[in-house]
Amino acid sequence: MKKYPETPDFVGLNAPVCEEYSLKNLEVEGEIPADVCGAFFRAVPDPAFPPMFDDDTALSGDGMVSRLYFGADGTVDFDIRYVQTARHTAEVEAGKALFGRYRNPFTDDPSVKGVDRTVANTTPVWHAGRLLMTKEDGRAYEMNPHTLETIGSYDFDGALKSETMTAHVRIDPDTKEMFFFGYEADGLASTKVSYCIADKDGKLIREQWFDVPYCSMMHDFVMTENYALFPVYPTTSDLERLKAGGDHWVHHMDLDSWVGIMPRYGDVSEMRWFRGPKGVSTYHMMNAFEDSEGRVHMDHNMSECNAFPFIQRASGLNVPSQELGGGLIRWTMDMNGGDEKLTQATLGPPGDMPRVADADQGRPYQRGWYLSVNPELQGPPLMGGVVGAEFNLLLRIEPGSGRIDSYAFPPLWGIGEPVHVPASQDGHEGWLISIVDQQIGENEFAHAAWIFDAGNVTVGPVAKVTIPHRLRPQVHGWWVPRGELEKSKRK
């Protein structure tokens, strides 16, 4: 039997768990706020079989959907199930891995040629009463949000032409439309990007395609009230390299970054391109908005180089995470001006996993939250997650005033991306829920869900829910209030 490699992607906190299970009535310390009633869905990559190649990345792990359910009676339950992707199903039948390198089908076992190879492991997206497990290299899988059973690959009732769909959709808080895109829309290393709008009922009402300056790993995008923004960073693909069995992505320090901006209900021919700095890399945008002078501001967790060790290796780069630089960066683009210039300002320290309240999407906003690394940590961080070490600092930032509040974790602790739960009380900033991991022995870990008052993170959690089982680190999550879940199309 092949074994999992002894690499950071597969050991310690990242050791595969490979188990579907349910836990009822979890132990709660403190008081769960009444607003916290509903489901915290999480996407967890967990490779069901040792990979074909020992240098594989945690990003290729089979998607699992997990749900932490906060009931109206104060009980908390936990469930986790594999997404039954075509890929997972084929590998279960064979009893071994059949798909090769990250996003390179030319390295697959010939028996699975043509089989959908997405692992649906990045974000559980909730829209129009549907739960979709997404990954940017393919189409989403629809899940039953009550049973966590897989319904199947999702193409918007046959309407979607794009072969891919981002894991980072944007939902307008007023119209409830879902805006999304897909890069490599018609195949590997392509410069074609789809831009799509689904109405509040989930019907695909618009799909247009455009070309980007080069094929880029476009992980996220962002909307304002009037515009769609498509940031492009210089991590690029190449079909010949893929055919030769090479890496999907190489990062280029000497290549420009770009932001394409078009009216959100406009035509792709109206796209305007703004040129950003060379060599920079961003996975997630916190938000974007317009001001009264016709400028568009985009706040994003930028670094000076691609943060993923496996992409750096493929690019002949070796920049340790503490030297990645960047920060929470604001790029400002003047829609009245005629040139391609943008200006850059720093709002906060480096970090990732940004959040704003759903109601603030695309609007001027007073506060946001993201994760960072505690510069004063007197000991080792917790190794694990997709970039090597977990974050250990929760930040609340007021981009207007520059005020930053934080909650720091001790050595050997880590925190996953929070979801934001709105408050019913006027003026209250709501709540944040995150999975918190702690290393308690050589190969032993403890896990809990912590609930913070979003407006007062410095005092620490108001409640902790113990999860008495090994958890592999999640990528992204989504909060679905109970009322929304009940309205779901699937029972």
Task: Compute CA distances 360 → 39, 71, 262, 356, whole Å.
Answer: 21, 26, 20, 6
Min CB(447)–ligand V55 separation in Å: 19
Joined together, the tokens standing for residue 266 give: 């406009």
The two most distant CA atoms of the chain are separated, in Å, by: 64
**Closer Cβ to ligand V55, 121 or 162, answer by number:** 121
Build a one-symbol-per-residue string for 186-205: x at contacts with ligand V55 by CB under 6 A, - elsewhere. Answer: --------------------
Q: How far is the C-alpha of 425 from the C-alpha of 472, rounded, in Å?
A: 34
**Closer Cβ to ligand V55, 91 or 136, answer by number:** 136
Min CB(167)–ligand V55 separation in Å: 7
Task: Count CB-CB contacts under 10 A for residue 366.
Answer: 13
In the complex, residue closest to ligand V55 by CB: 59
**Closer Cβ to ligand V55, 224 or 237, answer by number:** 237
**Closer Cβ to ligand V55, 135 or 447, answer by number:** 135
Task: Compute CA distances 164 → 57, 90, 153, 193, whole Å.
Answer: 20, 20, 11, 9
Task: Compute CA distances 270 → 94, 220, 229, 265, whole Å.
Answer: 49, 21, 12, 10
Min CB(299)–ligand V55 separation in Å: 18
- Does 307 help bind ligand V55 (rule: CB under 6 A)? no
- Does 162 help bind ligand V55 (rule: CB under 6 A)? no
Min CB(475)–ligand V55 separation in Å: 4
Min CB(307)–ligand V55 separation in Å: 9
Min CB(400)–ligand V55 separation in Å: 28
Joined together, the tokens standing for residue 379 give: 């000991």
**Closer Cβ to ligand V55, 18 or 462, answer by number:** 18
- Does 122 help bind ligand V55 (rule: CB under 6 A)? yes
- Does 231 help bind ligand V55 (rule: CB under 6 A)? no
**Closer Cβ to ligand V55, 67 or 103, answer by number:** 103
Among the listed residues 32, 59, 311, 395, the single contact to ligand V55 using CB under 6 A: 59
The sheet carrying 404-408 orders its strands as 352-355, 368-372, 393-397, 404-408
**H helices present in 200-345, as ranges:** 239-243, 309-314
Helices and strands (H and E) in the chain: how many: 4, 33
**Closer Cβ to ligand V55, 133 or 357, answer by number:** 133
Min CB(303)–ligand V55 separation in Å: 12
Element (H, E) at 91: helix 86-94
Contacts of 472 (CB under 8 A, 6+ apart): 13, 14, 15, 16, 17, 44, 45, 46, 61, 64
Min CB(371)–ligand V55 separation in Å: 12
**Closer Cβ to ligand V55, 28 or 125, answer by number:** 125
Min CB(346)–ligand V55 separation in Å: 22
Spell out where 52-114 has E strands: 63-70, 76-82
Residues in the chain: 491
**Closer Cβ to ligand V55, 76 or 329, answer by number:** 329
Q: How far apart are the first and last CA of the chain?
A: 40
Min CB(27)–ligand V55 separation in Å: 30
Sign of the alpha-carbon dihedral angle for 383, 386, 388, 392: negative
Min CB(387)–ligand V55 separation in Å: 8
Q: How far is the C-alpha of 218 from the C-alpha of 166, rounded, in Å?
A: 8
Among the listed residues 127, 168, 219, 420, the single contact to ligand V55 using CB under 6 A: 219
Min CB(158)–ligand V55 separation in Å: 26
Joined together, the tokens standing for residue 433 give: 């829920």
Q: How far is the C-alpha of 430 from the C-alpha of 459, rounded, in Å?
A: 15
Residues 351-390 within binding reach of ligand V55 (CB under 6 A): 386
Q: How far is the C-alpha of 310 from the C-alpha of 31, rounded, in Å?
A: 42
Among the listed residues 121, 224, 315, 372, the single contact to ligand V55 using CB under 6 A: 121
Among the listed residues 28, 314, 475, 480, the single contact to ligand V55 using CB under 6 A: 475
Residue 65: which of 145, 138, 1, 173 has the closest Cα?
A: 145
Among the listed residues 283, 365, 370, 391, the single contact to ligand V55 using CB under 6 A: 283
Count of chain residues binding ligand V55 (CB under 6 A): 10
**Closer Cβ to ligand V55, 98 or 475, answer by number:** 475
**Closer Cβ to ligand V55, 107 or 466, answer by number:** 107
Q: How far is the C-alpha of 18 from the C-alpha of 46, rounded, in Å?
A: 6
Cα 292 to chain centroid, rounded: 31
Contact by Cβ (8 Å): 470, 448: no
Interface with ligand V55 (CB under 6 A): 45, 59, 121-122, 135-136, 219, 283, 386, 475
